[in-house]
């Protein structure tokens, strides 16, 4: 991962930064899995854990060939007036590494169904013991997307890992994020 593209969303009175970042990530997700085959990762330089905010910048990391192939798809259509996109740039030589991974929690409903199917609880016990109120929400920044399959709104929570000196190699999912079990890193600067 020796190259990157930086995209800055430009909020205004009609569209705030979160709305624009959600749209940007949704458009990227739609093309990423088809074009880059897990060879491109993302980072959020403005990531703020306390504020559940991803900031206004998205960096897309990969090889020059992969990034040029991605940008040839014209996936930014409709967002060009609300964003600035850099050229393919070299990663600074002194860059550290960090992972960005999707973090998921099972819903209370899924936990209830599993407990019943395994015979641990009856349906009534599961409803009482595993209520929606007991299901904690992740306190992480997220992007909100509309599922292409069932058209429902979903939150993709994003965990930022610690800064490390050496890269962890591997593949990325269709959001450009590492799997939490692998902690594949991208350059951080």
CATH code of 32's domain? 3.30.70.2540
Residue 40's pLDDT is what? Answer: 97
pTM of the model: 0.84
Q: In the predicted model, is pLDDT for residue 25 greater than 90? A: yes
Burial 67-89 (b: 16+ CB within 10 A, else e): beebbebebbeebeebbeeeebe
Phi, psi dihedrals of residue 99, rounded to the nearest 5°: -100, 155
* pLDDT tens-place string over residues 90-137: 999 999 999 999 998 766 677 777 788 888 888 888 777 776 544 455
Is position 86 within any domain? yes
Residue 94 structural domain: 3-103+164-188
Please give the average per-residue pLDDT across 48-61, as a whole number: 88
Instruction: Count up the domains in the chain and report the number.
Output: 1
* pLDDT tens-place string over residues 31-52: 998 899 999 999 999 998 767 7
Q: In the predicted model, is pLDDT for residue 87 greater than 90? A: yes
Residue 132's pLDDT is what? Answer: 55
Sign of CA dihedral 61, 38, 29, 51: negative
Is position 153 within any domain? no
């Amino acid at each position: 991962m020796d190259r990157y593209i930086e995209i800055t969303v430009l909020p205004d009175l009609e569209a705030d930064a979160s709305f624009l970042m959600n749209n940007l990530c949704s458009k990227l997700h739609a093309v990423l899995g088809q074009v880059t085959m897990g060879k491109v990762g993302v980072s959020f330089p403005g990531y703020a854990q306390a504020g559940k905010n991803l900031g206004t910048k998205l960096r897309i990391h990969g090889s020059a060939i992969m990034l040029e192939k991605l940008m040839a798809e014209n996936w930014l259509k409709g967002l060009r007036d609300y964003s600035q996109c850099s050229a393919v740039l070299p990663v600074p030589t002194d860059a550290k590494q960090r992972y960005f991974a999707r973090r998921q929690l099972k819903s209370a409903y899924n936990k209830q169904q599993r407990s019943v199917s395994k015979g641990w609880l009856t349906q009534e016990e599961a409803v009482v013991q595993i209520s929606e109120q007991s299901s904690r929400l992740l306190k992480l920044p997220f992007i909100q997307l509309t599922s292409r399959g069932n058209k429902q709104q979903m939150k993709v929570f994003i965990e930022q890992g610690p800064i490390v000196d050496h890269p962890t190699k591997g593949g990325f999912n269709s959001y450009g994020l590492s799997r939490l079990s692998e902690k594949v890193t991208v350059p951080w600067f």
